[in-house]
Amino acid sequence: MFYKTFGFLFIYLIILISGTLSQKEIDSSNEQPVIEVFLVPHSHCDVGWLKTVEQYYTENVTLILNNVIETLTKDKSKKFNWAEIIYFERWWNDQNETLQNQVKQLISNKQFYFVGGGWTQNDEAITDYQAVINQMTLGHQFLFNQFGIKPEIGWQIDPFGPSTLTPTLFKLMGFKYHVINRIDERIKYIFNATEMNIPESGIMTIEREFEFLWYPSSNNPNISIFTHVLDHHYESPSLTIVDYEIPNLTYTSGFDFEGNPKINPPITILNLRFRADLLVKIIKERIDLFRHNNLLLPFGGDFRFQDSKIEFNNMDKLIKFINSNQKTYGVNIKYSTVDEYFEKVIQDTNINWKEDTTTTTTTTIPIGGDEFPKLSNLDYFDYTKCDYNDYQKYKTCSLYYSGFFSSYSELKQISRQSDSLLRIGEFLYSFANLISNNNNNDDDDDDDNDFNIQLKEISNILVQHRNVSGILTHHDAITGTAKTKVRDDYLLMLNQVQSNTMNNVIPNIVGYLLSNKSIQNFDYSCNNTIIMNSPQIGDIFSISFTNSLGWDRSEYIQIQLPPSTIVTVYNYNLISIQSQIVQRFDKDNQTFLYFNVETPSLGISTYFIIITSTNDDNVDDDVDKVFGDDELLIYLLKNGILSKPILSEISEISELSSSSSSSSSSSSSQITIGNSKFNLNFNYLNENYNLLTLTSFDDLIENEYSIPITQNYIEYISGNDNSYIFKPSGLPVNLKPESPKFYKVTGSLVQMITILYTNNCSQTYIVYNSTTTTTTTTTTTTTTNNDDSPPLELINDEQYFEIDNIVAAGWNKEIGSQFSSESINNDKTFYTSNGLELIERNYKSLFNDTTEFNMIAGNYYPVINTIQILDNKSKKQLTILTKQSFGASSQNNGELNLLFIRRSTDQFVTLNETMNDISNPLIKIKVLFGNSNSIENIRTPHSLLLENPLLPIYSIVSDITIDKWISIYNTVFKPFKTSLPYNLHLLTFTKQQQQQQQDFNEDNPLDYFIRFLNIYEISQSESFSQPIEFKLTNYFNNFNITNIRESSLTFNSIINNNTNSIILNPLNLISLIITISKN
């Protein structure tokens, strides 16, 4: 959004600097073909930025839509293009039937045209692919249900850099064309004036490459989309004539008739010819950038057309004058929708289309088109701007948009957590609907089976959660680039929908799905205050863990306990299991319980915690007295209903002190934690302020010891940074601690090293050990042992270590984490994930610019969930997995830098605010280190496990006794017969939104939206980068699937009406609409 208000000055300054774009006189010979100008009226309506979403809608958007619709209704020659469906849907619902019918006619006439059609124009750098799909589905479903419209053109004109993910997803949505804008200005424009001279700039101008065939994915090489880059931003045309010697004589004139009238004078009889000459001059300069004689010319800007009459009336005069003097000007202008432009381009060139049958989703791809270049496997990060004043100061372009990758870390974290919670709610709601539909149509009149759940209320809550999730994908929301009041509004919306889902959706549905009799009025809750509120010996609490992944899972979880509490943990079969109590010094000395949880695919497993001791009371070795005087528990224990209790292990905690040895590698000072697969070795390093520091890794599987690897916090000093721009003043230094403290935690299940830098910065390394728990095949078992199940030994907790990073930044400081390993020679090549696939990055100078701060900022890239380096010779690999986005880089050989949090006093020109991030977030990462082949086998599923944690739901059991609880509730909900294959991810399972005129509890079969993804890339894993063949009917438990139809990604177009057996190639995604009837 940077320079949206003032940017035209610099954009057109660049054009006139360019030697290629000469200021031609108007050609009156008329020997050239007529230039066809497609004038595209539009309004870019940010979903929050300088104002909140509500303010923009009530103060701006309603004016735009009211006035535009009125103008179009009166004049059929007028056209308008609209993108943001969040605003249009709300406006539409506020209109009466008469006006709605008028709008439908305008849409039918193609006067009012939808481009993109998503809820918003999402950010492309740091937004997770599932959130992108969800927000596009919101918009597309509204357009399809209301108007039968299926958008075909991407319109991403304001996000700060185009990702390869977007064209990949858009193609699967059925898009033919794609419009982008914000790419490095040195790629777009030639800078060769003395005042701004940038070697090798302007390749797009020189080669006329503003349109190309984009092949975005190496894993789907047949996916391509015809892409148009806006040559001069998305605002109405304007021209700046620069006088460097006498700046006061610099002259700008444009055609933004709602803008400054001194720059954009209205059209009068006196200035009509002059203004027409100027517009034609702009047109003829721009047409030289393209390989045909058609020009897409945006007419609009941010929240333009609030006064549509002034915009259209002035432009009408110009269009009429220019078109009536076609022999003089050689130009024909008309109001246009975006599709009209592309249709004319295709007509005038030799691009043909063919059906692509190489992917699961049938689509069309462009072929031929020799006029157009091809771009393969490349994105356009980092977006960079070139400001004249900035250039005069630094003699280089220094506005790298790599700062927003990490700005306002807590907002990014909460947004992803909210999406994970929404995913759980959607899955649970779908299964509740299926069961409710079966029960509501059952002839059994037994009152004991009277299942009642308020599904309509739950649906409304999830709709609101879904809508807010869509809002947060906006390119000024998740990015942290909105004003403080707007960012606070985003957080308020997130907290409200999360609270509603946590309090009113998930607990109710979990209780409903587990109940085998009429639902009791229990205190089912998503928070553990019931445990924290002074528990007594003998109190029993159930914790039901919900698994939103399609695989059986076995992993460690942590539950907070009151201090000085001892418990015993029972699983779903009432078998006591191992557990460990840990005091976390990085979390205000709070107490946490760790134990291993097993859950079925998409299912729920219930575990029980029984309080056995509080306030440090000793427990007698006699198991009869473990539960104090609770006669019922003693009875259940003696009669075998409860197995012999295993009391929770109290961790051994050691506060460590710095070694007096001057040798940084002294074996006497080495401290180790580990498991059966690896050890982490720590030493006190003089060069790191004598901090306890990770120094080496023992690979116990490969029998390799003391493999060098270090990790520590680093700190950049800001240099005119802001929420958009990363401009450090120099290289990072190690973060200096203040009275550091070190702790070691040991136990049979989990081991930790905690390093306290300050009161608000710390790191805790966590290593898990295998448990002795074995899974049996009983009616309540959570995992299965048939050939279709994933091999759980490939995704167990011993394969990685975690680091809990708690960070905060002082003014003009930017805090991150640096990993370094001499064992990896990556030649400064690293890989970041766009959410679906890895993109190769190479540390390099751009446009011969070796300025230190630009070498740093220009080599930071967005990370959605994965960053890694590897040595192709030694096959050593370091992979970092995350469940929130940030910027990362490899600035030196064998090194990975992660940037977590930023704070700056710089007053940004458009926001007019400092970047005052005072949050103190905990950023958890998973670290995989060792053999490359082994890591590639497991990194993708481990990433999904990290991003989709098990969700605990709490209840007090002791109020009714555990034997009665078990008679009312099942301990396991298992909707799938077996776990999905290891490389198959169930991405979406949600009930289709019914149209308003339909009854909520209709008696018809229910349709559900479902998506599957083969999660492995081509050649990632010899074992798992394989096609998957499966039948959906083999998985659903007790549900009858009667119809399976393959659809587009946003479920607005049927591709195949009869899809029974599915074959999914590596990194292919399929969308299905399934009908499920009662058994």
- Strand, helix or coil for residue 122: strand
How far is residue 695 from each of residues 186, 672, 688, 689, 1054, measured CA to CA in Å? Answer: 42, 10, 11, 14, 56
Q: pLDDT digit string (tens) for 836-876?
A: 999 999 999 999 999 999 999 999 999 999 999 999 999 99
In the predicted model, is pLDDT for residue 304 greater than 80? yes
In the predicted model, is pLDDT for residue 594 greater than 60? yes
- At which residue do the structure tokens 């599904």 appear? 455
> At 133, which helix (H) or strand (E)?
helix 129-147
Distance in angstroms (rounded) separating the CA atoms of residues 190 and 208: 12
Distance in angstroms (rounded) separating the CA atoms of residues 562 and 949: 23
Q: pLDDT digit string (tens) for 528-578?
A: 899 998 888 888 999 999 999 999 999 999 999 999 899 999 999 999 999
CA angle 689, 694, 700 (to 5 degrees): 160
Q: Judge contact between 167 and 216, C-beta under 8 A.
A: yes
What sign does the CA torsion over 355, 361, 366, 368 have? negative
In the predicted model, is pLDDT for residue 20 greater than 50? no
What sign does the CA torsion over 163, 166, 169, 171 have? negative
By mean pLDDT, which of 285-299, 662-676, 719-733, 767-781 is the weakest? 767-781
Distance in angstroms (rounded) separating the CA atoms of residues 966 and 641: 11
Q: DSSP per residue over 513-558, as a string?
A: HHBSSSPP----BSS-HHHHS---TT-EEEEEEE--SSS-EEEEEE
Distance in angstroms (rounded) separating the CA atoms of residues 628 and 539: 11
Q: Which fold has domain 7-397?
A: 7-stranded beta/alpha barrel (3.20.110)
Mean pLDDT of 162-183: 97
Q: Do domains 529-650+950-956 and 976-1079 have the same CATH topology?
A: yes
Helix-helix angle 409-440:484-500, to 10 degrees: 30
Q: pTM of this prediction?
A: 0.92
> Residue 172 is encoded by which pair of tokens?
């699967």
Query: Across-strand partners of 560?
Result: 592
Distance in angstroms (rounded) separating the CA atoms of residues 922 and 558: 15
Q: Per residue in 94-123, is it b (16+ CB within 10 Å) or e — as a string?
A: eeeeebeebbeebbeeebbbbbbbbbbbbb
The answer for 413, left when phi > 0, alpha when psi is -120 to 50, beta otherwise, is alpha
Q: pLDDT digit string (tens) for 90-134?
A: 999 999 999 999 999 999 999 999 999 999 999 999 999 999 999
- The pLDDT, as a whole number, for residue 21 is 33
Q: For residue 467, which phi and psi values (nearest 5 degrees)?
A: -65, -40
Helix-helix angle 272-287:308-324, to 10 degrees: 80
CATH 2.60.40.1180 assigned to 529-650+950-956:
yes
If 0-12 CB within 10 Å is exposed, 13-18 middle and 19+ buried, where does residue 878 land?
buried
Examine residue 443 and say whether the peptide bond preceding it is cis (omega within 30 degrees of 0): no
Mean pLDDT of 708-734: 96
Query: Across-strand partners of 1072?
Result: 1010, 1046
Q: pLDDT digit string (tens) for 394-449?
A: 989 999 999 999 999 999 999 999 999 999 999 999 999 988 876 655 444 444 44
Binding-site annotation: residue ranges for Zn(2+): 44, 46, 158, 475
Distance in angstroms (rounded) separating the CA atoms of residues 973 and 780: 9
- Strand, helix or coil for residue 433: helix
CB proximity list for 621: less than 8 A, separation 6 or greater? none
In the predicted model, is pLDDT for residue 6 greater than 60? no
Distance in angstroms (rounded) separating the CA atoms of residues 1061 and 1058: 9
Strand pairing class (678-685; 1028-1031): unpaired
> Residue 637 is encoded by which pair of tokens?
């224990």
**What is the share, in percent, of the chain residues with pLDDT greater than 90?**
74
Q: pLDDT digit string (tens) for 670-690?
A: 999 999 999 999 999 999 999
3-state secondary structure 8-64: HHHHHHHHHHCCCCCCCCCCCCCCCCCEEEEEEEEEECCCCCCCCHHHHHHHHHHHH
> Residue 603 is encoded by which pair of tokens?
């299912």
Strand pairing class (861-863; 886-889): antiparallel
- The pLDDT, as a whole number, for residue 992 is 81
> Residue 638 is encoded by which pair of tokens?
């003696």
Helix-helix angle 85-93:455-472, to 10 degrees: 140
Distance in angstroms (rounded) separating the CA atoms of residues 154 and 170: 7
CA neighbor of 200 nearest in space, from 184, 215, 216: 184
By mean pLDDT, which of 285-294, 579-588, 777-786 is the weakest? 777-786
CB proximity list for 43: less than 8 A, separation 6 or greater? 64, 68, 82, 300, 301, 302, 303, 304, 305
Comparison of pLDDT for 954 and 15, the residue scoring more: 954
Helix-helix angle 455-472:484-500, to 10 degrees: 150
- The pLDDT, as a whole number, for residue 783 is 35
- The pLDDT, as a whole number, for residue 658 is 72
Q: Judge contact between 979 and 600, C-beta under 8 A.
A: yes
Q: Which fold has domain 653-770+792-947?
A: Beta-galactosidase; Chain A, domain 5 (2.70.98)
In the predicted model, is pLDDT for residue 759 greater than 80? no
Confidence of residue 669 (pLDDT cuts 50, 70, 90): confident
- The pLDDT, as a whole number, for residue 26 is 41
- At which residue do the structure tokens 């497993």 appear? 605
CA angle 881, 886, 890 (to 5 degrees): 75
Q: DSSP per residue over 644-657, as a string?
A: PP-BPEEPEEEEE-
Strand pairing class (35-44; 331-335): parallel
- The pLDDT, as a whole number, for residue 253 is 85
**What is the share, in percent, of the chain residues with pLDDT greater than 70?**
86
In the predicted model, is pLDDT for residue 884 greater than 60? yes
In the predicted model, is pLDDT for residue 305 greater than 60? yes
CATH 2.40.70.10 assigned to 976-1079:
no
158, 382, 390, 797: which is the annotated catalytic residue? 158
Distance in angstroms (rounded) separating the CA atoms of residues 596 and 570: 11
Comparison of pLDDT for 904 and 797, the residue scoring more: 904
Q: pLDDT digit string (tens) for 803-838?
A: 999 999 999 999 999 999 999 999 999 999 999 999
- The H-assigned helical ranges of 325-408 are 326-329, 338-348, 388-394
- Strand, helix or coil for residue 952: strand
> At 356, which helix (H) or strand (E)?
strand 351-356
Confidence of residue 242 (pLDDT cuts 50, 70, 90): low
- The pLDDT, as a whole number, for residue 1004 is 53
On average, the pLDDT of the chain sits at 88
- The H-assigned helical ranges of 349-483 are 388-394, 409-440, 455-472
The residues spanned by each domain of the chain are 7-397, 430-517, 529-650+950-956, 653-770+792-947, 976-1079
Cα dihedral 847, 850, 855, 861 in deg (nearest 10): 10
Helix-helix angle 308-324:62-74, to 10 degrees: 40
Distance in angstroms (rounded) separating the CA atoms of residues 666 and 563: 37
CA neighbor of 254 nearest in space, from 229, 237, 272: 237
Percent helix / strand / coil, the chain, rounded to 5: 25, 30, 45
Mean pLDDT of 328-339: 98
- The pLDDT, as a whole number, for residue 994 is 54
Q: Per residue in 167-204, is it b (16+ CB within 10 Å) or e — as a string?
A: bbbbbbbbbbbbbbbbbbbbbbbbbebeebebeebbeb
Q: Please write down the long-range contacts of 683-691, taking CB distance under 8 Å and 24 or more positions apart.
A: 683/659, 684/658, 684/659, 686/662, 688/712, 688/734, 689/734, 689/736, 689/737, 689/740, 690/658, 691/737, 691/740, 691/755, 691/757
Q: pLDDT digit string (tens) for 901-949?
A: 999 999 888 899 999 999 999 999 999 999 999 999 999 999 999 999 9
How far is residue 514 from each of residues 181, 692, 885, 926, 953, measured CA to CA in Å? Answer: 51, 47, 35, 32, 12
CA neighbor of 375 nearest in space, from 602, 180, 211: 211
What sign does the CA torsion over 609, 610, 612, 614 have? positive
By mean pLDDT, which of 72-81, 234-243, 484-493, 749-758 is the weakest? 234-243
CB proximity list for 703: less than 8 A, separation 6 or greater? none
Whether 158 is catalytic: yes
CA 959 to chain centre: 42
If 0-12 CB within 10 Å is exposed, 13-18 middle and 19+ buried, where does residue 427 land?
buried
- At which residue do the structure tokens 């080496």 appear? 696
